[in-house]
Structure 1
Amino acid sequence: MRGSVLLMIFLPILSIAAASQKSAQRATTLGAWSIRWQPVQIVNGAPVLFQVKPPTRLKNLSGSWLWHDVLFTWDPANKIWYGLAGTSLETKPGTYPLTLVAESEQGKPLSYLKKVRVGAGKYRMVRLVVPARYTEPNPTQMQEINQDKALKDKVFLQSAPEREWSGRFLPPVRARVSDVFGTRRQFNGAVQSVHQGLDYRVPAGTPVSAANNGTVMLAGPLFYEGNCVVLDHGLGLLTLYLHLSEIKVKEGDRVTRGQQIGLSGATGRATGAHLHIAVRWQGVYLNPTTLFALRFR
């Protein structure tokens, strides 16, 4: 009788323990990847900030999307992995897989695939008149243009492997936008380029600030860009500041977000005084307006 009583007491305890273990196993098994992104509606030409919460703690996380590597950094405060990516203006509307590869703290390899949709952005056309030398350069000017291209190609390949930026990116001036990203530009009656940046209508001599922390990779005059500063923010992300009347930094300088790097002007191919800022990520030009709206931690 006593044995029966003990058995009756012990069996429910075993059942509870087994249920708890099964529940824990189910929680582990059902653990899922949580992936979000900004902006919610992605269009061609937009930077994208992926936010990943994995099902377990990771040693590392990397990814690929639209044939580009996506490099993730860990935010311990929010327990989220952040990765910056982007879509070129040439990206066609459609669904593109984001492939994630990771290693857990226990050394187990993990992978996950998430389909991400890209829509079509709406971009306009503008007509501009500039001196003929900027649309029909002579042989001497073409030599200068080619030298500039070789220099820029070299600079664009030298991005630091670590993230240098911190927090949100800020506009370089406080002013009205005079021309948006993605505009098709007709110079002197012929379509010759797509506007791969953002123009601010500011008078010459307006202070221009760094959008975020970075290293000065280029600071000097170029044929089309005029006086130009290129900042490297790491992980393939660059910002470019064009048509400056004066440059306040030199190559190799480390700058902080909001630090003055130059004064606006009308040097290079410009129809008047203004500031042009461009954002370049792994060889792709992205919409600065969208970058400024991303909520970086």
Structure 2
Amino acid sequence: MLAWTAVHSYAVNPKSIPAVSLTPAFVEAGSPELIVVSAPKAKSVSGEWLGHKLEFFQRGPKWFALAGVDVESEPGTSTAKIFAETGSGRLDLSQAIELHPAHYRTGALTVPPKFVEPSPEEQKVIAADADLKAKVFASSASEPLWHGSFRAPVLAEPTDSFGTRRMFNGKLASIHKGMDFRAPMGTVVRASNAGVVVLARPLYYEGNCVIIDHGLGMYTVSMHFSRIDVHEGQRVVAGDKLGLSGATGRVTGPHLHWAVRWEGAYLDPAKLLRLNLNAIR
């Protein structure tokens, strides 16, 4: 359960303390979280949680931050440090938040050997890809570009693959940090929300890949396209065509891998799709 603990740097009237809420209230590893501070008199709201900066934006009397808990986060008590600047001073609204474990399964896959033990030349390509992605993720828009709730990128059945401990050719390779959709070759892939395309090119593991910056550190990553129909720097809105699904990169067959990343933390896409953001205008 959530444990709310408001800590104040000086004495204030409890009735004047702005209200803080998290949705969903039950916080698990991999969970996206909408943090809302109801503070009509606040001039600004800032914060930090799990080593990541909380970027708040204002809509009417409320302040919002779309954040989350990385899939590999350990369970236990964490503290979200939240501060509201008002005309009469600074309020410390820090919250003690209990992180609960999420239970994910282990899966085994067989892929071409080069994706498990790449050659020295292939390792150079992988390293260059890593540098490129680091640059892409280092600079996000300073305002929210998304509007309303996120939507599924394809009309195809999703799997429960997020968080699966993946064994490739008998070796533990990684934790699966995205959602796989059973999208046949050539299925249209669409933008899940508004943003800017910050990467649209082939990568070693990801194959043909499209990354969209939704602002304030929130990105969606779509992989394994057979064809990309957008370009880097292009602004998109929810529903815009990004390309066609395929089987490029490290795959066992045609599908769409769709990931959600916030400030370096990978979040459960299924939980983001269930998060109602339509009231934020």
Is the TM-score greater than 0.5? yes
Superposed counterparts of 1:45-124, under 5 Å:
45-54=30-39, 56-76=40-60, 79-104=61-86, 106=87, 108-124=89-105
Aligned to 1:269: 250
> Is the CA contact 1:242–1:275 (under 8 Å) kept in the aligned structure 2?
yes
Of residues 132, 142, 162, the one that matches 1:161 is 142
Distance in 1 (CA, whole Å) between partners of 2:94 and 2:126 is: 43
Any unmatched runs of 5+ in structure 1? 1-26
**Distance (whole Å) between structure 1 residues aligned to residue 64 and residue 91 of structure 2:** 17
Q: Secondary structure at the match of 2:134?
A: helix
Counterpart CA distance in 2 for 1:172 and 1:74 is 28
Task: Give the AA of the match of 1:214.
Answer: G
1:155–1:29 distance in 2 versus 1, CA, 3 Å: closer
Question: CA contact under 8 A between 1:198 and 1:288: conserved in structure 2?
Answer: yes
- 1:169-202 deviations in whole A, cap 9, x for unaligned? 1110122113421001101111111100000001
Aligned-partner Cα distance in 2 for 1:87–1:128: 27
Of stretches 128-137 and 109-118 in structure 1, the one that deviates more from structure 2 is: 109-118
Deviation (angstroms), 1:33: 2.7
1:40 to 8, 14, 25: 25
The residue aligned with 2:174 is 193
Give the paired residue count.
Answer: 267
Query: Which of 159, 171, 178 is the equivalent residue of 2:152?
Result: 171
2:31 corresponds to which letter in structure 1? Answer: A
* 1:146 CA drift (Å): 0.9
Structure-2 residue corresponding to 1:285: 266
Matched, 1:209 2:194: no
Whether 1:136 aligns to 2:117 is yes
Per-residue CA distance 1:179-236 (angstroms, 9 max, x = gap): 4210011011111111000000011100001111000100000010000000001101
| Contact 1:204 1:264 survives alignment (8 Å) | yes
Structure 2: which 5+ residue stretches go unaligned? 1-11
Q: Which amino acid aligns with 1:260?
A: K
SS in 2 for 1:290: helix
Over the residues paired in the alignment, what is the CA RMSD in angstroms? 1.5
How big is each residue's C-alpha offset from its partner over 1:48-79, in whole Å with a ceiling of 9 and x where there is no partner? 1111113x511111111112111111121xx3
SS in 1 for 2:271: helix
Q: Which runs of 4+ in 1 moved over 3 A?
A: none
Aligned ranges 1:9-48 → 2 under 5 Å: 30-48=15-33
Find the aligned partners of 1:183 and 1:29 in 2 and give their Cα distance. Answer: 44
Q: Does 1:253 align with 2:234?
A: yes
- In the TM superposition, what whole-angstrom CA distance separates every residue of 1:246-294 from its partner, at most 9, and x where no partner exists? 0010000000011111110000001000000011111111111111111
Among candidates 212, 218, 225, match of residue 231 of structure 1: 212
- Confirm or deny: 8 A CA contact 2:57 2:143 kept in the other structure: no
Tell me by how many angstroms 1:116 deviates.
Answer: 1.2
Q: Determine which structure has the larger helix proportion and give its number.
A: 1
> Which one-letter code corresponds to 2:85 in the other structure?
E
If you compute each CA radius of gyration, which structure gives the higher value, 1 or 2? 1
**Alpha-carbon distance between aligned partners in 2 of 1:290 and 1:225, rounded to the nearest angstrom:** 23
**Percent of residue pairs bearing the same amino acid type:** 44
TM-score normalized by structure 2? Answer: 0.91
Q: For 1:129 and 1:273, locate their aligned partners in 2 and report how far apart those are by CA, in whole Å.
A: 14
